[in-house]
Amino acid sequence: MHCKVGDNHPALLDCCGGLNNVDYSKMDLTLLEAFLKHIHVYDSRLCIAVIAILFNPLFWNVVARWEHRTRRLSGLFGSPYLACCCLGFVIILLNIYRSHSMTVAMKAQARWEVMERTEVFYAGIGLMVFGTLLVVSSFLALGFTGTFLGDYFGILMDEKVTGFPFNITENPMYWGSTANYLGLALIVGVAVCIIIIIICHDLVHISSPYTEHQLLKEH
């Protein structure tokens, strides 16, 4: 079925043709072109930062699941608590390097004039404050072993964690980190923040099944 066409109007698209009838050559891609122009995709510093973002959750999820199946780390260190603390220390170092590499990559990117506004700068400050609040509060709620995959070492929570910030999101650590990176990108004024959001958003879905905070201690 076709839409009705008036005598004084251009022919309308086939109502049932979907996107096959769209003339993409007439789309206004000015904003997209401006966005891509300000991203140096092949910059080595950006590539290193992206690799660091992808590697970190892959590393600690693989190691934690391997420990859960074999208990090799607990046996090596003689205690599940010591093994968990050592893994946590390695994760902290990896996160420090990830943050450093992202900062270096952002500063190397071209600044986007659209983002060089006072309101954008203060929005970035607000996001970093909110992100830091999520990260710190979730750490205080879970403790060191709860934050750094203690459940895979057999170190389980005494009771379900339901207070802030887990009452507003199930993955406050990941969303807090995402907010921090986005805030930094807005402050620096680089368009690469969009790539950061996409990557971090995907990592939430990849990692969340293995980082649940609601495991309870067996009675």
**What is the structure's pLDDT at 36?**
56
Spatial CA neighbour of 153 closest among 208, 73, 80: 80
Q: 197 phi and psi, to 5 degrees? A: -60, -45
Place of tokens 């060191």: 144
List the one residue out of 207, 219, 191 whose CA is nearest residue 39.
Answer: 191
Backbone angles phi, psi at 210, to 5 degrees: -105, 5
For residues 134 and 173, what is the distance between their CA atoms, to the nearest angstrom?
6
For residue 193, what is the enclosing H or E element?
Answer: helix 193-207
131 is in an annotated binding site: yes
Q: Is 78 annotated as a binding residue?
A: no
Task: Provide the whole-model pTM.
Answer: 0.70
Instruction: Find the helix packing angle between 44-70 and 193-207, rounded to 10°.
Output: 10
Where are the domains positioned within the chain?
Answer: 41-210
For residue 195, the one-letter residue type is I
Tell me what pLDDT residue 171 has: 82
CB 159 within 8 A of CB 216: yes
pLDDT of residue 182: 83
Q: Is 55 annotated as a binding residue?
A: no
pLDDT at 99: 85
Cβ burial of 124 (10 Å; 0-12, 13-18, 19+) is: buried
Confidence at residue 88, expressed as pLDDT on a 0 to 100 scale: 94
pLDDT by residue for the chain (219 residues), tens only, comes to: 444 545 555 555 555 555 566 555 666 555 555 555 656 667 788 888 888 888 888 898 899 999 999 999 999 999 999 999 999 999 999 989 988 888 888 777 767 676 677 888 899 899 999 999 999 999 999 899 988 988 899 888 777 788 888 888 888 888 888 888 788 878 876 656 666 666 665 555 555 544 444 344 444
